[in-house]
Amino acid sequence: MEIGIDKMGFYTPHMYVDMNKLAVARNDEPEKYTIGIGQEKMAVPPITQDAVTLAANAAMEILDEADKEKIDLVIFATESGVDHSKAAAIYAHHLLRLNPRARAIEVKEACYGATAGIQLAKGHISLHPDRKVLVLGSDISRYGLHTPGEVTQGAGAVAILMSANPRVMVLGKESAYHTEDIMDFWRPLYSKTALVQGKYSVEKYNSFFKTVWEDYKKKTGLTLKDFAAICFHLPYTKQGLKALRLVIDEGTAADKERLLAHFEVSKQYNKIVGNIYTGALYLSLLSLLELNTDIEDGARIGLYSYGSGAVGEFFSGILQPNYREYLHVRHHRKMLSERNEVSVQEYEDLFNQELPADGSDIDLPVENDPAPVLLSGIKDHMRMYINKDQS
Ligand code: CAA
Domain boundaries, the chain: 3-169+327-390, 171-322
Q: Which long-range contacts (CB under 8 A, 24 or more apart) does 199-203 make?
A: 201/308, 202/239, 202/242
Cα–Cα distance measured from residue 291 to residue 71, given in angstroms and rounded to the nearest whole number? 29
Nearest protein CA to atom 54 of ligand 1, as residue = 235
CATH number of the structural domain 171-322: 3.40.47.10
Domain 3-169+327-390: homologous superfamily in CATH? Thiolase/Chalcone synthase (3.40.47.10)
Instruction: Kindly give the residue spans of alpha helices, DSSP state H, lying in the chain.
Output: 19-25, 30-31, 51-60, 65-70, 88-95, 113-127, 198-220, 237-247, 253-266, 268-271, 280-291, 329-337, 344-352
Cα–Cα distance measured from residue 374 to residue 56, given in angstroms and rounded to the nearest whole number? 9
pLDDT in tens, 24-34: 999 999 999 99
91 labelled binding-site residue: no
Backbone φ, ψ for residue 61 (5° rounding):
-70, -20
Looking at ligand 1, which atom is closest to the CA of residue 239? 46
Residue 161, strand partner residues: 7, 134
Cα–Cα distance measured from residue 41 to residue 21, given in angstroms and rounded to the nearest whole number? 10
How much distance in Å is there from the Cα of 239 to the middle of ligand 1? 8
Pocket test for ligand 1, best of 108, 202, 278 (most atoms within 8 A of CB): 202
pLDDT in tens, 92-118: 999 999 999 999 999 999 999 999 999
How much distance in Å is there from the Cα of 159 to the middle of ligand 1? 28
pLDDT in tens, 223-260: 999 999 999 999 999 999 999 999 999 999 999 999 99
* Radius of gyration over every alpha carbon of the chain, rounded to an integer in angstroms: 20
Cα–Cα distance measured from residue 31 to residue 198, given in angstroms and rounded to the nearest whole number? 19
Nearest protein CA to atom 44 of ligand 1, as residue = 235
111 is catalytic: yes
pTM score, whole prediction:
0.98
Give the per-residue pLDDT at 108. 98
How much distance in Å is there from the Cα of 37 to the middle of ligand 1? 5
Cα–Cα distance measured from residue 239 to residue 232, given in angstroms and rounded to the nearest whole number? 9
pLDDT at 374 over 70: yes
146 is catalytic: no
pLDDT at 348 over 70: yes
Mean pLDDT for the stretch of residues 147-174: 98
Average pLDDT over all residues of the chain: 97
Cα–Cα distance measured from residue 106 to residue 154, given in angstroms and rounded to the nearest whole number? 21
What percent of the chain shows pLDDT beyond 70?
A: 100
Please, are residues 111 and 235 in contact by the beta-carbon 8 Å criterion?
yes
Kindly state the DSSP code that residue 248 receives in the 8-state scheme. Answer: G
Check the CA dihedral 237-310-157-151 and report its sign. negative
Q: What angle do CA 209, 212, 215 make, to 5 degrees?
A: 145
Kindly state the DSSP code that residue 148 receives in the 8-state scheme. Answer: G
Nearest protein CA to atom 52 of ligand 1, as residue = 235
pLDDT band with cut points at 50, 70 and 90 for residue 187: very high
pLDDT in tens, 13-53: 999 999 999 999 999 999 999 999 999 999 999 999 999 99
242 labelled binding-site residue: yes
CA distances in angstroms from 194 to 22, 97, 231, 276, 384, listed in the order given: 20, 33, 24, 13, 26
231 is catalytic: no
Mean pLDDT for the stretch of residues 263-275: 98
With a 6 Å cutoff on the Cβ, whether 148 touches ligand 1 is: yes
Catalytic one of 111, 231, 313, 332: 111
Please count the residues of the chain: 391
Please, are residues 260 and 28 in contact by the beta-carbon 8 Å criterion?
no
Looking at ligand 1, which atom is closest to the CA of residue 31? 1
Closest CA to 227 of 98, 314, 353: 314
275 labelled binding-site residue: yes
> Comparing 3-169+327-390 with 171-322, is the CATH topology the same?
yes
Q: What angle do CA 263, 265, 67 make, to 5 degrees?
A: 105
pLDDT at 164 over 80: yes
CA distances in angstroms from 9 to 216, 291, 331, listed in the order given: 28, 15, 10
Mean pLDDT for the stretch of residues 65-75: 98
Give the per-residue pLDDT at 390. 79
Mean pLDDT for the stretch of residues 332-355: 97
pLDDT band with cut points at 50, 70 and 90 for residue 389: confident
How much distance in Å is there from the Cα of 36 to the middle of ligand 1? 7
pLDDT at 391 over 90: no
With a 6 Å cutoff on the Cβ, whether 232 touches ligand 1 is: no
pLDDT at 272 over 80: yes
Catalytic one of 40, 79, 150, 290: 79
What percent of the chain shows pLDDT beyond 90?
A: 99
